[in-house]
Amino acid sequence: MKRQITCIECPAGCALSVEIENHKVVNVSGNKCPKGVPYAVSEVENPCRILTTTVLTEGLSLKAIPVRTDRPIPKAELFRAMEEISKIRITGPVSAGDIISGDLLGLGADLVATRDSGL
């Protein structure tokens, strides 16, 4: 089976042609540099994304604080991560970069605030 994907590792946006056998990448072509190969393997075998969302607050002037994972997490875990995040409430002031939830769901990514909450 062949799949066409676009490498997003840099602005060149190479069109990659990926040969897949038994859910494993066996050949990648169309990449202008070596980074395209691990990108294709990750995208096909374990696609991951940075999760960006908000966490509700209690007792702060802002109703919600924007947050993101500090590294990509598997796409297959995004829904479960959103469920977990929906249970969190920020009850005191936070600054951009503060960890809101460490090692979210044991996925190795911290959930961090991306702006200050104010008081």
Distance, CA of 3 to CA of 26 (rounded, Å): 12
Q: Which is nearer to ligand SF4, 33 or 64 (CB)?
A: 33
For the bound state, the minimum distance from the C-beta of residue 74 to ligand SF4, rounded and expressed in Å, comes to 21
Q: For ligand SF4, which residue of 24, 27, 33, 76 counts as binding (CB under 6 A)?
A: 33
41 binds ligand SF4 (CB under 6 A): no
Q: Which of 43, 64, 44 is nearest to 53 (CA)?
A: 64
Per DSSP, the three-state class of 15 is: strand
Site for ligand SF4 in 1-30 (CB under 6 A): 7, 9-10, 12-14
User: 67: which 2 tokens?
Assistant: 């947050």
Alpha carbon distances (Å) from 30 to 10, 13, 23, 37: 14, 10, 20, 10
Segment lying near ligand SF4 (by CB under 6 A), choices 32-40, 62-70, 84-92, 103-111: 32-40
Candidates 5, 25, 31, 48; binder of ligand SF4 (CB under 6 A) is: 31
Dihedral angle, C-alpha 113, 91, 56, 114, nearest 10 ° = -10
Which residues bind to ligand SF4, rule: CB under 6 A? 7, 9-10, 12-14, 31-33, 35-36, 39
